[in-house]
């Protein structure tokens, strides 16, 4: 169906065209529903459905009482998910953000708890085994942009200087350096990437509107023998793209 004959889709198409063409600049306001209805000679209801479509596409934002605003297309920032042929030191997140000309920082909170089943499986430890759980919220230029929840088996770190990830001599230096300090040499990371709608908690913490999507990276760090850390990293799809550099082996 090249030409759309449904009213609300026709309206949505026209408005979308104006947005991507720049006739409606980022940050500007759309006409009100009543104005659009008169303009397109349709009912307000049709306009509302068209607005819903554009909102689902992430092109506009709506707030009750205010006319819809054209979202400024945030430039995608790139997260490099690879150490291949790079000499990376300290926190990968900070290095990535600084490389793109922004200020990076984070807050975190650690507590000991017991491993939930999915985490236990990923760490290959018994369910309910003691773990150190650390919740991070990462900020770029002061705005929260990413969050993650990390789990480390306490059987590895208990009683060592690195038990608390963000305290002590190795604070803020990343998992690899911390684990290295207690003789755990990380040689591999696995990352399982999925995408899903944002949860209420995440939408509040990351200041993104409900219904938008996030990518979830289930990252696990491995020594030659065992997994030593695993984390769920949550990134809004409209803020980040992920870059993987993959060595291709074989003749």
Footprint of DNA (CB under 7 A): 6-8, 30, 32-35, 42-46, 48-49, 51, 62-68
Give the pair of three-digit tokens for residue 1.
């169906």
Backbone CA torsion sign across 117, 123, 126, 129: negative
> For a second copy, how many residues bind (rule: CB under 8 A)?
42
Strand pairing class (188-197; 227-236):
unpaired
Least distance (Å) from a second copy to the CB of residue 245? 5
HEC sequence for 93-156? HHHHHHHCCCCEEEEEEEEEEECCHHHHHHHCCCCCCEEEEEEEEEEECCEEEEEEEEEEEHHH
Q: Which is nearer to a second copy, 38 or 241 (CB)?
A: 241
Q: Is 56 in the site for a second copy (CB under 8 A)?
A: yes
Strand pairing class (77-80; 213-222):
unpaired
Q: Is 192 in the site for a second copy (CB under 8 A)?
A: yes
Site stretch for a second copy (CB under 8 A), options 12-20, 95-103, 132-140, 186-194: 186-194
Q: Is 116 in the site for a second copy (CB under 8 A)?
A: no
Q: Which does 180 bind (CB under 5 to 8 A by kind): a second copy, DNA, none?
A: a second copy
Q: Is 87 in the site for a second copy (CB under 8 A)?
A: yes
Q: Which is nearer to DNA, 45 or 199 (CB)?
A: 45
Q: Is 237 in the site for a second copy (CB under 8 A)?
A: yes
Residue with tokens 């690899």: 176
CA atoms within 13 A of residue 88's CA, in its CB half-sphere: 21
- Number of neighbouring beta carbons within 10 Å of residue 69: 16
Q: Is 247 in the site for a second copy (CB under 8 A)?
A: yes
Tell me which residues touch a second copy (CB under 8 A).
56-57, 76, 78, 81-88, 176, 180, 186-197, 211, 213, 215, 221, 237, 241-251
């Amino acid at each position: 169906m090249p030409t759309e004959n449904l009213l609300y889709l026709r309206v949505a198409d026209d408005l979308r065209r104006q947005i991507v063409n720049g006739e409606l600049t980022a940050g500007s306001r759309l006409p009100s529903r009543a104005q659009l209805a008169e303009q397109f000679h349709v009912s307000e209801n049709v306009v509302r459905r068209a607005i819903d479509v554009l909102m689902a596409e992430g092109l506009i934002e709506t707030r009750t009482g205010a006319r819809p605003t054209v979202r400024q297309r945030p430039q995608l920032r790139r997260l490099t998910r690879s150490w291949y042929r790079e000499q990376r030191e300290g926190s990968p997140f900070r290095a990535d953000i600084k490389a793109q000309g922004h200020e990076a920082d984070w807050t975190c909170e650690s507590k000991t708890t017991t491993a939930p089943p999915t985490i236990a499986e990923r760490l290959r430890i018994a369910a309910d085994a003691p773990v150190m759980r650390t919740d991070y919220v990462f900020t770029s230029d002061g705005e929260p942009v990413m969050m993650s929840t990390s789990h480390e088996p306490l059987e590895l770190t208990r009683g060592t200087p690195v038990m608390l990830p963000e305290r002590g001599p190795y604070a803020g230096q990343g998992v690899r350096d911390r684990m290295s300090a207690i003789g755990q040499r990380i040689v591999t990371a696995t990352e399982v990437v999925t995408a899903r709608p944002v949860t209420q908690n995440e939408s509040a913490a990351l200041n993104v509107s409900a219904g938008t999507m996030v990518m979830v990276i289930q990252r696990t760090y491995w020594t030659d023998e065992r997994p030593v850390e695993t984390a769920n990293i949550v990134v809004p799809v409209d803020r980040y793209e992920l870059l993987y550099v993959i060595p291709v082996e074989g003749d």
